[in-house]
Structures are given as structure tokens and as C-alpha cells.
Structure 1
Amino acid sequence: MRSKQIALKYLTSKISNPTMIFEDTNLFRLILPWAKDSARELFSSNPQKIFLISRLDSIAPIVNDYMLSRAQKMLKNARKKKNSLYFCLNNLQKTISWIIDRWINTFTNLTLNPDYRDYIDIKSTEQSIAKLFNINYYDCQSQLILNEFTQKQKLIQKLIKKIYPKFDLKKVDMTEFFMLCVEQNITLDNLIEVLNKEYTCK
């Protein structure tokens, strides 16, 4: 059974009202991992998009945030414009299916469509991350770079939280933060070293 089918079967037992998905962030979040898995299956069956599988882990959190930030607006537009979502809202499975399809479509637009307003230039981003690690981009597989980036990002967030317990990390765009580090020639190792010293001194 494919991820989307499993999701429809599993989530219908967890959610009672389709419109509540867009009004309750926790309910909306339940669908996102299934959307990612569905995207993986879809991309793996399409030779032209199979390369996107290696981008899923790094880009999925961005797509999740993108979708979550627009959830209520999606519902509002559906009611106002009577779009495709509007005709799904009377059926829970159709609504969940619509969100999964929308997630995949958003991922594709963000990564493949340069004309899309919020398009992500993956190659440029990966090169910036490689620079942040003092790594030659062309000597490494980008996924390894991104994996290291993710691991160090978590460590940095953990250290910041320990040093400044009241600091709200949710208000920080970590990608922009790390790109600022690139501009200032600060590597993540430099940053971790400084944070470790500050934590030790506390």
C-alpha cells in the first residue's frame, strides 16, 4: 500500500472535521510526513524527477513551514474563490489528498520553477553551505554537505537554547542566519567553538 493510501486510512481515524485541519496546526502537521513520503514515491517513479529524492530531507522542512504558514489562507481562499479545495472540504479523504498533492506541487515549484515567487536555487544554496564548511562543493556529494549542515544546525540550536533558555528559536530563520555567517566568513565550527566556550563559562 502506498504512503498516500496509508495516510488516508490512518488519518481519517484521527481527524473528524476537514476544515479543522486548516485551523489546527497540530492536525495539519499530522499530514506533512505522509506528504513527504508520497513525494518520495512519486519522484522515484519519474526518471526526470528522481534526483529530487536527494533533496527531500533538506527542503521538506522549508515546504512544511511554507504550507503551515498558509494553512488558514488556503481555507479562506477556498471559501471565497470556490477553488479545487472548496470541493474537497465536504470529504475528509479528499481534503487530506488535496493537501498531500499541494505539498508535492509546492516542493516541485520551490525547487524546479525559477519563475515561482519563492523559488529556491538549490545549487546556489548548497554552494553557500559548502563555503560555510570550507568544503570544495565539486569534491563532495551535496547530500553529505547538507547532512553535516543539518547535524551542526541542531547542535548550534541546542547550544543557543542552553545558553539563552528564554530565547525563542522559532523566531529565527536559521537558513538566513547561516547565510549571514557565510557573508561574514564565519564557519559553523567557529560558531560552535564560541558557543561551547560561552556555555562553559556560564
Structure 2
Amino acid sequence: MQQFRVTATEGAWRIAAWLLLWLPICLLAADFGDAPDARYVTPGSPCDGYPSTLASDGARHADTSRLWLGKSVTDEPDSKQAGDEDDFLIHQQVTSGSWRGDAWINVLVDRDGDDNFPCTRPYGRWESDADWTVRNLKVPNLVPGEERGVKVPLPKDRCFRITLTTRPLNNYHGRGSFAYGETEDWCPAPIRETAPTKKKPPLPPPTT
């Protein structure tokens, strides 16, 4: 009976080859949402909303090339905390790059506007059950190269997060790591205070 032995040198070479293969993949940029994260602005803040950054365990996707929301997708190593190019509001569709199978959509909406202590505007939360407005909307039988239109109710007066995954979610509050898909956030523009309107002096009476 022939026996095969792996020497220490061969084992080291195999480990090195494995690292060369997988390390670049591990270092690839992921996809994050961009809703305002209180802990990004104030590290150690008691406010835990909205969870967007890696430090807050914000929803993120390791590989967005398999399927995504809208017509295009961008990757970043962490939440940008700035305006982005997410386009699902314009193009309500799921795009499959190479994914074959089912996908699921979940939507969180800050319906109760809980910007109360310990959170203050513009930060809020997606913690209540009422905030999970769309639960595991199934997009069945996607095939590579397909663009599938979907109808998802989305408000324009509240911050929301829409997450596309290849498995249904449980107890979702906007956090966690997922293999494939994309997460998009949208928040209304902050209300800006305006200076009080100055009253104009009365016009002088006409002269005759």
C-alpha cells in the first residue's frame, strides 16, 4: 500500500499558496450602508444608531458582484458617512451578476422617529418591531445577467435601510455581515433653521 507524506516544507508552501489565493479576496472592499452613525462622529457615544460603520457592526456584504440593488453598486472598506450613488430609489430592481437562485429583500424604516435620549437628531434607531416594514420579500429564481423589477414601499420622510441577501433574515435591526448582496440607506435632508423674516417698514403716505 502506497503512503503519501506531506513534509513540513510542503505544508508551509501549501499554506503560503492558500494565503496568496485568499488574502486578496479577504482584503477586497465590502459594501456598507451610509445612514448617519452617531459613534462615527462621537466615539463612545451612548447612542447606538444608526448602525452603519464597521465599529457599529453595520450591515455589510463581502461580495457585491453576484447580485445587487438597482443598476449599479459601489464598494467601500467602511461606511462613507456621506452622500453616495445608491440608485434603488430610481431603479427599483434586483440585478444578478452571476447569482442563480432566490434572494430576499428586507427594509427598515425609522417609523417612530426615535431620535430621543440617548440619540438626538439626525441619529435614530431601527430597533422596534414596527421599524421592520418589509420582512423577507422573496425574489425567486434569479439567473445570471437578469434585471428583475420589484415593488418595495419606501418612504421619503424617514431614514430607511434596504438590504438584499441570498438568505432570509431573522431579528434584523440593520446589523451583521452577509456573503452576497447589497445594503442601501436613504435619509431625508436635515431641516435647516432659517433666519426670521424681518418686517419691512410701512411705506410713507403718498404726497399730493
- TM-score band, normalised by the shorter chain? under 0.3
Which of the two has greater helix per residue? Answer: 1
Higher relative contact order (CA 8 A, sep 6+): 2
Query: Which structure has the greater CA radius of gyration?
Result: 2
Which of the two has greater strand per residue? Answer: 2
Q: TM-score, normalised by structure 1?
A: 0.20
Q: TM-score, normalised by structure 2?
A: 0.20
